[in-house]
A and B are shown apart, each in its own frame.
Chain A
Amino acid sequence: MQNNKLKPEMNQLRPILGDVVSTLESKAPYGAAVLTSRETVKYLVDNNQERVIVGDPTAGVILTAFDGQTLREKAIGGFDKNDLIQGTKDLLRDSSFVKNGKVDPGLERKHDYQTTMENDPAQVPTNEKLEFLREMNQRVNKIDSRIVNARVSYVEFREKTIFRNRAADISQDVQRVHMSIMVTVKGNKGVVFDWTSKCGTAGLEILTFTDEELETVVKNAIKLLEADRIEPGEYTVVTAPGVSGVICHESFGHGVETDMFLKERAKAANYIDRRVGSDLVNIYDDPGFPGAFGSYFFDDEGVSAASTQIVKNGIFERGLTDLYSATALGIPRSPNGRRQDFSRKVYPRMSNTFFGSGDTPLEELIGRVENGIYLPKISSGMEDPKGWGIQVSCHYGFEIRGGKMTDKMFASIGLTGYVPDVLASVSAVSSDFDLVGGYCGKGTKEVVPVTDGGPHLLMKVRLG
């Protein structure tokens, strides 16, 4: 077994985790022990300040005992051997378990995984990172005198995990990086902003911005000063990959997280093997997508990353599971059991969720629109798994007229609709593909890194 860059205190505890699991399984049908450390450092340089902000540490041990009916967990901060042993005793002492419960521990595995990086942030000194952000800030400010502020932020997330149950002894060291550039400009009508960002499970090598990319974000921020409001109504739209992605995230992402099935919150539970979109609609979730911001090697319950096809040619195939929901529903597991950090429970969660690409060149797809709107920039989205309503906020959109993009900008734009109607209206899918990274919560909590994406889509929706 080749070791990765785990914390020494985690490696010290690793040899006793097998005994801990055996002790848990002396009373419970299933036991697992997880050591997890999640560290976040944010660097910020703008026109007026510099900051290096270290996030609160979330590092600790999670002990799980499960009898097929109720999960019992004890989460203890830090990596103290005595705390681990005492915690195991306390968990068993305070819990009662249904006997003869059966829980599948998964395949036997032993492996250590690590994000492939050319430029590991941990090896780059703080001053070099700050200098890189300062240079980026200066590059942006030189573009236009109307810029009030150019906020350049870079966040690095390091997740180190050891997972142990009776079948698996695996670890992963996942490095995520995220850089965003937010440009604020001031005009007669007030203050507006636009941004661009890059992120992934990777090293610093992915955080490069061309002059054209920086000029575009400044140009669009300035255009926002004169943007019009869109007349509410139904429109033919072309969604860029980020907007396409949020549509699938909010429709057949949240709504197929199978804890929603157990809670009877998901209309999709009644639509397995039924049509939910046009033939052109294919939706996937894949935590193994190379380099994507929502990627990992195994989920927080030890299931190895693999692609799950959620919708195939418009037909809903299956949902995303964690250990509890798969056990309770009697369906296969998928690698989607994720927790925000050691202090939180696992839920079935998305990772990298996207529409599959089609075969229409983007130019041809836009050429089909006589009068419509191009939606290039996502702000946020909200799910409605029971009602199948959808709300997606777009920072702005551009008019398409006569099959050509125009410079006429509308902002801000709210996209709404009834999910089956929206997906049924998809009439062309472009051949390109991109993923946009971000953060996803369940309700207002349980935040995890994800990406959404896919190709450009041609569809009909309601805008306001």
Chain B
Amino acid sequence: MLEKIEQSLKSNPEIKAWNVRHVITRGSQQYDLAKTTEAIREVSSEHYTIDVLCDSLDTEGKPSSGVGTVTVLPGGEINQTLDQAVLTAKLVHNEPYDFPEPSSLPDVELADHDYLKDPPGSIEKVLISLKEQTASYPHVRLAAAECFGQEKITHLVSSKGINAQQNTTEMYLQWVYLAGEGEGEVETFTEIYQRRIADFNLEEKAARRAKYTSGLLLAEGPPSQIGPVLVQGGTLASMVAGEVLSGSLIQTLSAGEMKYSGETPWEIGKSIFRGDVKGDSFNIWANRQLPYGMHSNAFDAEGIPAQRIALIQENKLEAYISDQRFSSYLDIPATGEFGNIELKPGKISTEELTREPHIEIAEFSWFNPNPVTGDFACEIRLGYVVDGKGRKPFKGGLLLGNLLDALADVTWSSETGFYSNYLGPSAARFNNLQIAG
């Protein structure tokens, strides 16, 4: 099928460049309730996604380029589908550009080979292991859990000579812990995306979530104050790197596309912050080579190789993240997709960070800052008042502020952690944030 598609593409003189992604996926899913298995599913699919680039004249008669994309299922009709792609490509008018040339691809670890030996069995074992871990915490009950595994094989071929394949796995685990009884019963809900089952790190995660669940049982009303706020683990990762599936402020404002459209205030060589930096300096890499990172790959959808881009160094923007098109418009190197966020750790241990009185936020309802301004007002689902006398849990209230201002006044821990799409300090003390109780 791939050869037939290639032949059809090569024989069409209207096509300036093309690429084809042949994608095969196989997945196993299991859904458990406390005492029974609700569902067991197996999923498989295969398709070919074809991008064609054509040159044409725009509505004012100027040269332009456009892409048309179509998908074909195995055995599907090829020529008619490609004609539709060409028609679309010639109707879309952008400044002229071309598809990327081939270049050497890095070797990036992307697949869980243990999972691939027995996908349904591996998924079942994760859920059994979760139950065993939970048994260590008699104050919590495991009410439900879901675990998915998916293998994805992507073979990319392009008119420029790219011919590459990558095999990846994606794992997903969610579970619900309950504690207490009746009206006072509380829950915590956990979701983890990883490429390897081993990176679920179940022992540590189960312990942390069990602790949070029991914290909720004792939680009182929120305080109102302005001062240091400590955030750790996956909660910190989602503050800095955004949701695993959607990204956040840093990805938006560093995009070449946003630079081209004039929608980002960030400039190369200038501080990304609006004022003085009072805390640790901010150093970030956009890293697609991170072993087993959720946004790692050997090549992206265009075939651009994975890179580790020094994005922000000493608070200053060093690069824009850009696909082939916008890199050619901006005359900058094409980086391809953003990838994962790698953040330089600090020099102070978590123990030192937590020595002074502070508020710790264990979990937000949803940390969702405005994707352009960075302003946020997020409900706190569980926090702790740490005042030297003890650690008192609370729930509710809002954390208020601006993410960029918060990142300009933060102290990072020296210890690091890996959370799906983030590698960096495992704790941070934001020195001056407002909590509205």
Stretch at the interface among A73-81, A173-181, A295-303: A73-81
Answer whether residue B47 sits at the interface, using C-beta atoms and an 8 A cutoff: yes
Interchain nearest-CB distance for A301 vs B (Å): 13
Answer whether residue B33 sits at the interface, using C-beta atoms and an 8 A cutoff: yes
Answer whether residue A56 sits at the interface, using C-beta atoms and an 8 A cutoff: yes
Question: How many A residues face the partner with a CB closer than 8 A?
Answer: 69
Q: Which of A55-110 contact B (CB under 8 A)?
A: 56-57, 59-60, 69-80, 95
Q: Which of B17-41 contact A (CB under 8 A)?
A: 23, 25, 27, 29, 31, 33-34, 36-41
**18 A-B pairs (CB sep. < 8 Å):** A57-B73, A71-B38, A79-B73, A80-B74, A184-B261, A191-B373, A193-B372, A263-B33, A324-B39, A343-B43, A345-B29, A345-B41, A386-B185, A386-B187, A387-B381, A391-B366, A414-B379, A445-B172
Answer whether residue B262 sits at the interface, using C-beta atoms and an 8 A cutoff: yes
Q: CB distance B73 to A59 under 8 Å?
A: yes
Q: CB distance B365 to A389 under 8 Å?
A: yes
Determine the residue in chain B with the shortest Cβ distance to A148. B262
The complex places the Cα of A73 from the Cα of B29 at a distance, in Å, of 10
Answer whether residue A464 sits at the interface, using C-beta atoms and an 8 A cutoff: yes
Given contacts A264-B144, A345-B31, A414-B400, 18 further A-B contacts (CB under 8 A): A52-B69, A52-B88, A56-B47, A71-B41, A72-B39, A77-B45, A78-B45, A126-B87, A232-B434, A264-B34, A264-B185, A324-B39, A343-B43, A379-B368, A387-B381, A391-B366, A444-B244, A464-B436
Q: Which residues of B contact A70 (CB under 8 A)?
A: 36-40
Answer whether residue B269 sits at the interface, using C-beta atoms and an 8 A cutoff: no
Given contacts A74-B42, A324-B38, A389-B395, contact A80 B27 (CB under 8 A): no
Q: Which of A126-155 contact B (CB under 8 A)?
A: 126-127, 130, 134, 148-149
Answer whether residue A122 sits at the interface, using C-beta atoms and an 8 A cutoff: no
Q: Which of B67-116 contact A (CB under 8 A)?
A: 67-71, 73-75, 87-88, 91-94
Q: CB distance B377 to A393 under 8 Å?
A: yes
Q: Which residues of B contact A74 (CB under 8 A)?
A: 41-43
Q: Is the interface of B mostly helix, strand, loop or mixed?
A: strand
Q: CB distance A464 to B189 under 8 Å?
A: no
Q: CB distance B245 to A444 under 8 Å?
A: yes
The complex places the Cα of A134 from the Cα of B92 at a distance, in Å, of 11
Give the interface centre of A71, A79, A232 by most chain B CB atoms within 10 Å. A232
Determine the residue in chain A with the shortest Cβ distance to B246. A444
Q: CB distance A443 to B91 under 8 Å?
A: no
Q: CB distance A343 to B377 under 8 Å?
A: no
In the complex, the number of residue pairs spanning A and B with C-beta atoms less than 8 Å apart equals 203
The complex places the Cα of A78 from the Cα of B40 at a distance, in Å, of 21
Q: CB distance A149 to B45 under 8 Å?
A: no
Question: How many B residues face the partner with a CB closer than 8 A?
Answer: 80
Q: Which residues of B contact A78 (CB under 8 A)?
A: 45-46, 73-75
Q: Which residues of A contact B29 (CB under 8 A)?
A: 345
The complex places the Cα of A190 from the Cα of B262 at a distance, in Å, of 11
The complex places the Cα of A75 from the Cα of B370 at a distance, in Å, of 38
Interchain nearest-CB distance for A437 vs B (Å): 19
Q: Which residues of A contact B70 (CB under 8 A)?
A: 54
Answer whether residue B161 sits at the interface, using C-beta atoms and an 8 A cutoff: no
Lowest 3 CB-CB distances: which A-B pairs, in order?
A: A77-B45, A414-B377, A232-B436
What are the interface flags for B359-390 relative to A under an 8 Å C-beta threshold, 1 for contact and 0 otherwise? 00000011010101101111101000000000
Q: CB distance B39 to A345 under 8 Å?
A: yes
Given contacts A265-B144, A345-B39, contact A56 B49 (CB under 8 A): yes
Q: CB distance A52 to B92 under 8 Å?
A: yes
Q: Which residues of B contact A60 (CB under 8 A)?
A: 45
Stretch at the interface among A43-51, A364-372, A400-408, A451-459: A43-51
Given contacts A264-B34, A464-B436, contact A412 B377 (CB under 8 A): yes
Answer whether residue A306 sits at the interface, using C-beta atoms and an 8 A cutoff: no
Q: Which residues of A contact B93 (CB under 8 A)?
A: 50
Q: CB distance B144 to A75 under 8 Å?
A: no
Determine the residue in chain B with the shortest Cβ distance to A386. B187
Q: CB distance B71 to A264 under 8 Å?
A: no
Determine the residue in chain B with the shortest Cβ distance to A58. B45
Answer whether residue B293 sits at the interface, using C-beta atoms and an 8 A cutoff: no
Q: CB distance A51 to B92 under 8 Å?
A: yes
Q: CB distance B373 to A265 under 8 Å?
A: no
Q: CB distance B39 to A416 under 8 Å?
A: no
The complex places the Cα of A416 from the Cα of B400 at a distance, in Å, of 13
Q: Which residues of B contact A126 (CB under 8 A)?
A: 87-88, 91
The complex places the Cα of A48 from the Cα of B216 at a distance, in Å, of 49
Answer whether residue A432 sits at the interface, using C-beta atoms and an 8 A cutoff: no
Answer whether residue A331 sits at the interface, using C-beta atoms and an 8 A cutoff: no
Q: Give which listed residue, B33, B191, B395, contacts A443 with CB less than 8 A.
A: B191
